[in-house]
């Protein structure tokens, strides 16, 4: 089974999720999304698989969220996706893709449902 994880090594939940996946001896593709920002197509696909709107996948506690005025309900999904691509720290983490499904590793064990 091939598993992709959008990972931030500085995040404890992301590290815990990665460790959990490694214990499953899965074939992992680790994407440090702060260094390898997903494309617009990839991010849109992840949102679709998760069944979330762009705002639902955003880390609202990040300073840049407030600095850019992203709480404005009048912003389009397109504008929110653009903000996430330009500031990937806004993307919730970790995100795991497996078997044509996606899950956010919060808590880390929640990704087990898609394996």
Residues designated catalytic = 11
Torsion of CA 6, 12, 18, 20, to 10 degrees: -140
The DSSP element (H or E) to which 101 belongs, if any, is: strand 101-104
Q: Report the residue count for the chain.
A: 115
DSSP assignment letter at 75: S
Determine the distance from the C-alpha atom of residue 35 to the mean position of all C-alpha atoms in its chain, rounded to a whole number.
13
Contact present, 99 and 51 (Cβ < 8 Å): no
The phi and psi torsions of 31 (rounded to 5 degrees) equal -115, 110
């Amino acid at each position: 089974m091939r598993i992709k994880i959008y990972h931030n090594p500085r995040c404890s939940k992301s590290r815990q999720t990665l460790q959990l996946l490694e214990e499953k001896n899965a074939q992992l593709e680790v994407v440090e999304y702060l260094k390898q920002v997903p494309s617009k197509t990839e991010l849109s696909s992840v949102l679709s698989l998760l069944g979330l709107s762009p705002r639902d996948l955003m880390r609202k506690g990040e300073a840049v969220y407030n600095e850019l005025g992203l709480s404005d309900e009048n912003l389009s999904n397109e504008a929110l996706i653009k903000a996430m691509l330009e500031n990937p720290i806004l993307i919730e983490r970790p995100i795991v893709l497996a078997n044509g499904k996606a899950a956010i590793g919060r808590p880390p064990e929640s990704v087990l449902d898609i394996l």
